[in-house]
Structure 1
Amino acid sequence: MSTLLETPAEASAMRRAMLRVKDGFSLRHLLAAGQWAVTLLICAFLIVPVVMSILAGLTVNYFRGVSSGLTLRWLEQVWTQYHDSVFLSLEIAAATLIITLVIGVPAGYALARSKTRASRIVEELLVLPIALPGLASALALLVLYGGMTAFRTSAAFIVVGHVVFTLPFMVRAVAAVAASSDLRTLEEGAASLGATFWQRFTTIVLPNVRPGIVAGALAVLTLSIGEFNLTWMLHTPDTKTLPVGLADTYASLRIEVGSAYTILFFIMTMPLLVAMQWLGVDATGQRGLARKPRKKRRTSSAS
C-alpha cells in the first residue's frame, strides 16, 4: 500500500484553496443574510402601517392605544353609515367586469390574431387610460357627458369610467395568453372539420385563453373596487363608492372610524389579491407567457 507525500508547496496550495472556498461560502451567507434583512425591512415598512391602522379601528381610543381596550363599535358604526357604499361598489365592480368581459375578450383575441400595424396602433391606444391620470380621464368624461343630467348622476356614469380604466387590463391579459397559444392551427383544423366560427370560439378559443380571462377578471374587480381618483370626480352624494367613503371618513370623522373603514376595505379586497396569488396569474398575462419559451428550450436541448 503506497502513500502519497505532499510537498510543502502542495500543502500550502491546498490550504489556500480551502481558505478561498471558506471565504466564498461565508460571503454567500453574508449576501443571503443581507438580502433577507432588506426584504424583511421592506415588508415591515409596508405591513406595519396597515397593522397599526387595523388596530386603530379596533381600539376604544387610538391615542391611548390597545390599553384603552378593544371594541367592534367603530366597525358597527361604519357598517351602519356606509353599507350602501359597500353594496354600490360591488355592483359597479360586477357591472364593470361584465362589460369588460363582453368587450375585452373578443378584442384581445382579435389583437392577438391580427399582425397588422393598425392592430398595434389600437393596442397602444388602449393603454392611454392607464398612462393618463384618473382625474384627466374623469374630466374628459365630464366634458363629453356632463350635459346628460340623468346619466351624469347615475351609477352607470361611474361604470363607464371604470370600464375605460380597466378595459386595457382585460384586453392585454387575454391577448398575451392568446398570442402564446397556437390558436390559428387549432382553428384551422376545426374549420376543416366543418366547425363554424362560433363553435371554434366557444370550444377552442375560450378554453385556451381562460388563464388570461381569469387574470383580467381579478385585475378588473380589484381595480374597480379600489379606484379613487376617477371615481371621486365622477361620483355624486347618491353614488358614493367605498374608496370615496374612506376618504370622507378620514377627512371628517375621528381616526378610529376611518381605520375601521380601512378594515372593511381590507376585508373586501384581500380575497381578490389572495386569489390572484393562489391562481398564479397576473394582470398582464406575461407570467404564463414567460414559462412556455423555457419549456421549448428544454425540449430542444433534450433533443
Structure 2
Amino acid sequence: MATPPSASTFAALLRAEGVSVVEVGDWETHNRNTKGPWGPVNGVMIHHTVTRGTANTVQIVRDGYTALPGPLCHGMIAKDGKVYLVGYGRANHAGLGDPDVLAAVIAETKPPTDDEASVDGNRHFYGFECENMGDDKDPWPPEQIEAIEKVAAALCRHHGWTARSVIRHLDWQPGKVDPRGPGMQWDDVLAGISARLGTKPPTKPAPTPSKPTVDLSKLVAAAKSNPSAAGQPVTYSGVKVVEAALVNAGYLSKAYSDGHYGKVTVEAYAKLQRHLGYSGSDADGIPGKASLTYLGDRYGFKVVA
C-alpha cells in the first residue's frame, strides 16, 4: 500500500529507468478523480488495447469513448517501446476485480484464479495499455516487452515492491484475456522485472505430488465429438483440466471452461498450436501429443497416450 508520487516524479521515475517518455497534452491533470478515489496504490496492471497504429491508440486511451471516458490508462506503451503519458490519477483501466487477487498483490504472492468482480481496481493500480490487437496474432516486439519491464521496475523500485506487484488484466477481472500474443510470455516479463530490481524471479508453485493425468486418446475423442453433439456433454473429465490450462495461458475465456470440448475450445487449442508453430491441418484444434505435453508441462498435468 503506497501513496502515488506527484505526476512530475512519476515521469522522472520512468525516465530514470531508461524509458523513452512522451508527454501528451495536459496528462498531469487529466484523470477521473471526481468519480472516486485514487490510491493508495498496490500494484501495476498491464493491458492490451485491441487497436492498431500508435497515433490512433494514443488518442483512444487519452480520450476514451462514449461508454468509457478517458483516460483509459496512465501510459500507453507503443510497439517501438515509447511510453506515452496520457493521464495521471484515477483512470478507467482496471474496473472491478477479485479481492483475493488484490490481497495476493499486497502480500506479493502469486495471484489466485480470479472469479469475482467486486473491488475497484481503478483506485489501486497504475495502468499501462500496450499497443496490440489482442487477436493472438499481433506480435509483441522485444522493444515493447522491454518497456513493460522498465515501467514496472521503475514503480516497484520507488515503492519497494517486488515483481509480484505487477499483474495482467486477465489476472484481475474474470473473462479478460489481456495481454496475450506472440512474444508475450508473462513468466519471462516477471523475470525481467526482477532482474532490473536485482531480486530473484518469482518462484513458481512447487509441483504437487500427484499431477492430474490427461489421456490423449480420450481428449481427442471429445474434441472430435463434442462440437457437433447436442447440448454441452462432458464426455471426458480431462477436458476440464486442459481448458483450465488454456485459460491460464490466455487462449480461452474462463466462461468456456466447462468441461465441454466445444467449438470455442477447439478454436482456443488451435491458437496454442499456431503459437507453437503449427499450421494448416496441424493447427485444427485437435490435440496432438507434442502440443498437449507442452501445455501439461507448463500448467501441471501429465499426458498419457
Q: TM-score, normalised by structure 2?
A: 0.21
Q: TM-score, normalised by structure 1?
A: 0.21
Higher helix share: 1
Structure number with greater CO (CA < 8 Å, separation at least 6) is 1
